[in-house]
Structure formats: C-alpha cells, structure tokens
A and B are shown apart, each in its own frame.
Chain A
Amino acid sequence: MQNRMAKRLQKDLEQMQKTYVDQFIVKMPNNDIKHWIVGFEGAKGTLYQGEKFELQFKFSNDYVAPIESPEVIFIGKPPEHEHIYSNGFICLSILFDEWSAALTVSSICLSIQSMLSSATKKMKPPNDAEFVKRSAGRGPKSFLWSYHDEKC
C-alpha cells in the first residue's frame, strides 16, 4: 500500500514540477513524501497580487488509493480572506465532503488560488476569533464544516 501511495504522490509531484513550475514551488522539508510545502504568489490583477503564501499538505496513511483527502492548511501568515481562518484553516468543500480521489495536489492548489482571486474584498471569516480559539490543538479534518456560500 505504501508503495501505491508513493507512486501516486510521485505523479502529483511531477505534474507540479512540470506543468506548474512557474506558479508553485514545492518543498519537502523532511524529505518525506507525505509532507509538502507549496509556496505561491497571489495572482496578478487580484487583491493578493505580489503577496507570498505557503500551503502545507499532510497525507495520512489512508491516502493509499488516495481515498482520504490530505490535510491542507496555510502556514506562516495566511491571506486575509472570508474563508480562511487566521490559524491557516481553509473552508473549502473539496478538502472535506466533496473530496474526490481524482483530485490532485495541483488541482487543490489551483482551487485555493482561484478562491483567492475571486475575492472582492479582504475580510476575515465572521466567526474567526471564536473558531480559532475552539480549534486550538486540533486538525482541520476534525471539524464538521458548513460552507458559507456556494463558491466556498
């Protein structure tokens, strides 16, 4: 199983490095295929132009097929966005309920980038402070997410 997982992640990595090399920079800090850090810049012509962000991907052992979605959060300073909490958690349905095994790392990154690009004003989620306090010490996948709007 480990082997299959590595194979799939290897392919995702190749895709990132070949097709999206200008857009995303992939790092593996511990040389561990299950832990990625993807750096990217806010797209031109959007509210986040020029800002640099980093996403952390953690793949659980259940990512075998890959059946289970990876855990994706912003590290460092997260963008100020309606669906991104100050602790880096992202409210995006494809990361939770609507996860499909056919989604790749690059498709997740593109979704998050497009979520940022479509923002019309910079604002924090309405329940940010309360949520961040409540989520201390827990991973984003331990929550039942309710999506604030259709786009999210």
Chain B
Amino acid sequence: MDYEEEYDGEDYYQDSNSYYQPQLLQRNSSINQETLELQDVMEYIDQLINNIGELLNFDSDNTYEILMFYNWNKDRIESEYHEKIIEQLQKQGILNNHSAISYENNTTSCPLCLEITTMVKLGCGHLFCHSCVTHTIAQRFSKEQFLVIPCLQYGCKYRLPISMIKKFSRPEDFQKIVCRKFIDTNKSLAYCQGVDCKKILRPKDLSITTVTCPCGTSFCFRCKNEFHLPVPCDMAKTWVSEITKNEANIKWIVLNTKICPFCKRPVERSDGCNYLMCKPPGGCGKAFCYVCSNPWEPDHKDHFKCSKYVPPSNNLEREKEILARYNFYYERFLNSHSGVEQNQKRLKQLKEKHYQEIQDIYEVTNIEAGFLETALKELIQSRQVLKWTYCLGFFISQTNPNSSKLFDNYQKDFEHSCEQLSQICMQLFHELEKMQNQFTRTQISLETRRIDFFQRKEQFQKMQNRCKLLRDNLLKASENGDIMN
C-alpha cells in the first residue's frame, strides 16, 4: 500500500508547514519532521471525508463507514469502488440507511432504564433515551472499541452513524478516538512516544527513521521503539526479545550494582561514569572500574580498554562462548543504559538546582552555564548510540570478524570520548558539592573560582564536539554499510 502519495501534494500540509515553522526553528535546528496537534489531524480527516463524500456521492456518515472499512486508505477506495461494493457493504451492515433517525421522538419509557423521557429513534426503528445512548457510547470509547457502536438492542445489526456518536459524546473524546484510529493506520504519522506528550509527528519524507518531538523524546519512526541507531529495526527487535528472556531481577542487579573487588560489597552507581568508588562510610574507599570490575589503578588511566571482547581460544567450548559473549555485550548494553538514565536524572537536577548553585558559586549567568545542558544532552544522545553499538557488536562479532575489528575501533574511540565527557561532568558536579560548604568556598577567591569554571567550560566544549564528531562518524559508517557488510 502506498501511503506517501496520499498526502504529498495535499494543500493542507503546506498550510501547516508555514504555521509550524517558527515554533520548530526555535527548538530544533535540524527539522526532520512536523509536529501536529490532534486538532490539525481532525481538520485533515474532515477534509478527507468531504473529498471522498463528494467523489462517491455519500453523506459524511456513510463516508466515515466506508473509510473505516478500507482502513482510511483513500487510494484503495478509489481503485476498488464500484456499485456492487455498495450492495455488499449494505448486506454486511456497514452502510445503513439513517433516514428514519429522529432525535426528539415521543416521550415514552426507555426499554433499558425504564425512565419516561424523550427518545432517540435510530435508523433501525429502535427507541432509546438520550442518557442510555450517551452512556453506551462513553463506555465503548473507554474500551477503545471505537466508532463501531451497534444498536443497543441485542442482536440488531444496525450501527449508530458518526453524526449521532459525535452528538452524544464529549468533543475531546470523539476527536481523540477518531484521530487515534486514523493515525494508527497511517504510515506517515505517529504519536510521540514520550510520556504525557500528545503531539503527532510527521517526518518530511518516509526515509527519515529518527524523529525528535519538541518535548525531547526521540524514537525510531519505523518501529516506534526507542532510538536504536546504528542498529536496524529487526536486529534491535531480536536483541530486545533476547533480553526479555532474562529474569527481571538479574537485570536489576546487573544494572544497579557491582561487587567491589576489594571488600566484596555491592556498590550502586551514582553517575554515568565508569569510575566507581566504594565510598566510605560503609565502603573501603578504593576505586574500581564499573565495566570490568578490576581495580582502577594502575591500568585504567585509559579506561576504554575494557570494551573489547577477547574470545577464548578453545573451539570445543563454542556454546559456552556464545553465551559468554552474549553476557559480555549484554552487560555493556545495560551499563550504557543505566548511564543514559543517570545522565537524564542529572539533566533534571541541573535545571532544578545546579543552575542556581553555579550562579551562587561562580557568579555566572544561566546563559554562560548553558553549555552544561548542551553537554549533558550530547552525552545522553551519545550514550544511547553507544548502548546500541553493543547490540551491533554482538551480532557482527558473530557473523563478520573482519568488520568487527573495524567496528571495534570506532566503538573504542567513541566510548573513550563518551567516558571523558562523562568524567568531566562528574568532576564538575563533585566540585559543586564541595563548594556548597561556605568555609571551603571562602578559601578560594572568586577570581580563581571563575577561572576554574571557564577552564572547565572550554574542556566541556572540546569533549562535547569530539563526542558529536565520533557519534556522527559511527552513524555514517553504519549507514553507508562500512560496518555491516
């Protein structure tokens, strides 16, 4: 089915283009998609109904039924429509004669609630009170069963027309459910996957796979799951189904704690960085690497070395090896995932309190400190990509050792720069914590503090650019097929 044709060339979207442009320019410099509200979609549906209705010479009620029957696919209606179809649809009860409808019929007793009041007469001749019809519609809506609402009489095949459903439902409920059905069957539209975000996204063209809503949520437009580049959708799906087989609590333990190699206590990660200190009181005060659980000193100065997997030489233990390899990559996948989550938490904290702290300690404006937000966002985005490179790593190390080597290089550099950015982040936040103490603060002059801050800023910008560069390189390489083939 070809959905592209259906919308390209529609005047409607050109209008909305000019309408949405200013807002998008403000928030998102690279415009990949348009953001629509339910209202816009509803307008589009109304227009579609009008057009089709004119074409087929139907009223809007029957046009709705036909469109729903054909899954809102205009092209299919145009190509399959002929007189005999109408007869068939009438027999199946999809098209109904609504001419008998009267909203203000005689006052009698409703067969359902027995109340004596004004009745609605349906096209099939059955009578019900307004309240019973309203409640039935509301209940059907809440079950998400949508617009197919049969006559309330048991066994009657008549369907309530859309105009009646609209009349007896709350406008926002009606709009929500009509749009949901429309968007669900439409390949060029998708709801934003963000929590509580009600926006609808439409990419500029269907080759775009990643969309970012103004609310900040990024997701894959093709499979509607989280952003998973450089991994293709089907691979990501296999990986996720592989993961879900594992027990949830194992996942929690792997995700949240590491056993300290010195004192054997489980240590929970507090920042995205791989440098883990078993903090006193309670801990032994020694540092180790979150990834390989080895002591940090002396060989973790370049702490990116632990992301390369060395397979055992014994061929007889092949099966064991696959499992071990899976666990290896899975653990790193989860590590990055928890990194993303911690960074997101930090980003939230930054807005809630750290900006104020920075202002107090260094006497800089929020604009001057704004680089932190950009850096954290870059870090989140990079870690998200890094996370999925472990999935890719698992699959290509299995199938293609040669490109695996090349890929390892990309990954290694990329991880290194992510870690460096992560570390300077952590250092700054630790510094902030230290400077909370008024006494410590007065020990250092404001001038020195400010110099320190701007030095950090420079470092941040450098690392952040490097991260972005490597991320872009990695994505480009996988897109061009340099890695996969």
Contacts and interface: CB of A to CB of B under 8 A. Distances in A.
Looking at A7, A66, A102, A107, the one whose CB has the most chain B CB atoms below 10 A away is: A102
Interface string A90-101: 000010000011
Nearest to A107: B154
Interface residues of A, number: 17
Contact of B112 (A62, A94, A102): A102
A52 interface: no
Contact of B153 (A4, A8, A102): A102
Interface string A1-43: 0001101100100000000000000000000000000000000
Given A100-B153, A103-B154, A65 B114 contact: no
Contacts of A67: 132, 135-136, 138-139
Contacts of A64: 113, 135
B274 to A, nearest CB: 43
B120 interface: no
Given A62-B139, A65-B136, A67-B136, A101 B112 contact: yes
Contacts of B136: 65, 67, 101
A66 B110 CA distance: 11
Contacts of B155: 100
A94 B112 CA distance: 16
A68 interface: yes
A138 B378 CA distance: 47
B242 interface: no
B293 interface: no
B109 to A, nearest CB: 10
Looking at B111, B113, B115, the one whose CB has the most chain A CB atoms below 10 A away is: B113
Contacts of A8: 112-114
A103 B112 CA distance: 9
Contacts of A62: 139
A101 B132 contact: yes
B152 A4 contact: no
B154 A7 contact: no
B131 interface: yes
Interface string B286-300: 000000000000000
Contacts of B131: 4, 65
Given A64-B135, A65-B135, A67-B136, A11 B152 contact: no
A134 to B, nearest CB: 19
B154 A4 contact: no
Interface residues of B, number: 16
Nearest to B110: A65
A64 B136 CA distance: 10
B86 to A, nearest CB: 28
Given A7-B114, A11-B114, A66-B113, A102 B135 contact: no
Given A62-B139, A64-B135, A67-B136, A102 B113 contact: no
Looking at A62, A64, A94, A101, the one whose CB has the most chain B CB atoms below 10 A away is: A101
Contacts of B135: 64-65, 67
Interface in B403-427: none
Contacts of A11: 114
Contacts of B111: 102
A65 B135 CA distance: 7
Contacts of B154: 94, 100, 102-103, 107
Nearest to B140: A67
Contacts of B112: 8, 65-66, 101-102
Contacts of B113: 4-5, 7-8, 64-66
A65 B113 CA distance: 5
Contacts of A94: 154
B110 to A, nearest CB: 9
Contacts of A66: 112-113
Looking at A5, A94, A103, A107, the one whose CB has the most chain B CB atoms below 10 A away is: A103
A61 to B, nearest CB: 12
Interface string B127-143: 00001100110110000
Contacts of B152: 100-102
Nearest to B113: A4
Nearest to A98: B154
Nearest to B143: A97
Looking at B112, B135, B138, the one whose CB has the most chain A CB atoms below 10 A away is: B112
B240 to A, nearest CB: 24
Interface in B90-123: 111-115
Query: When A and B form their complex, which 5 residue pairs have the shortest distance between CB atoms, in order from nearest?
Result: A100-B154, A67-B135, A65-B135, A65-B132, A102-B154
21 contacts: A4-B113, A4-B114, A4-B131, A7-B115, A8-B113, A64-B113, A64-B135, A65-B131, A65-B132, A67-B135, A67-B139, A94-B154, A100-B153, A100-B155, A101-B112, A101-B132, A101-B152, A102-B153, A102-B154, A103-B154, A107-B154
Given A7-B114, A64-B135, 11 more contacts: A7-B113, A8-B112, A64-B113, A65-B112, A65-B132, A65-B135, A67-B136, A67-B138, A100-B150, A100-B152, A101-B112
